[in-house]
Amino acid sequence: MDTVNLTRLYALIMLEHGSRRAHLLGVTANPTGPWTAQAARNFLMDIDTDMTKLKFLIRDRGGQFTEAFDTVFADANVRVLKSPPQAPKANAHCERLIGTLRRELLDSMLILNERHLRRTLTRYLEHYNTARPHRSIGQLCPAQAETRPPTPINLASHQLRRRAILGGLINEYQIAS
């Protein structure tokens, strides 16, 4: 992502394949090997998911993913797999998430700095994980992926409340209480 001041920023995002839940690991202007390894350590310490569900990690062959990055996940009994060279379809779910972030968020906003991008991505990923329906998991959001779908209700007998997200770029609707 390029900022208003033409500084390029990079975000490290982890995507759970089964539930489509996305996690922001960090934002930086200089993604080095030590930075990605520390971001991985922070992610594994903060994750609220059962670690036995994580079996493997598919990553690309970027130079910022060093042996230290792989070791962090190997120590947590997560097998690290590198995607084949020049094969974007091998990691299609992540490529789709990047496209979604660009279309729904980043193409419509001017990012000021690293802190602004982190705050914007954090808020969008909260919406993505808890309110945005996904076709691949039966129009449920990732937070509902492992539960049963909610029972349908007749919206004609209820009033809805609109909540603006990210200054009105996205709207969420709830039944007014």
User: pLDDT tens-digit profile of 136-150?
Assistant: 777 888 888 777 777
User: pLDDT tens-digit profile of 62-105?
Assistant: 899 999 999 999 999 999 999 888 887 888 888 899 999 999 99
Segments making up each domain of the chain, as ranges: 10-147
Amino acid at 94: C
Q: pLDDT band for position 52 (50/70/90)?
A: low
Phi-psi map region of 20: left, alpha, beta (phi>0 left; psi -120 to 50 alpha)? left
Query: Is 143 within 8 Å of 22 (Cβ atoms)?
Result: no
Residue with the two structure tokens 């991505």 = 121
**Entry pTM:** 0.86
- Domain 10-147, CATH: 3.30.420.10
Query: Is 109 within 8 Å of 123 (Cβ atoms)?
Result: no
How far apart, in whole angstroms, are the C-alpha atoms of residue 63 and residue 48? 28
Dihedral sign, Cα of residue 110, residue 115, residue 117, residue 120: negative
Element (H, E) at 173: strand 170-175
Query: Is 51 within 8 Å of 45 (Cβ atoms)?
Result: no
Query: Is 85 within 8 Å of 60 (Cβ atoms)?
Result: no
Query: Is 12 within 8 Å of 109 (Cβ atoms)?
Result: no
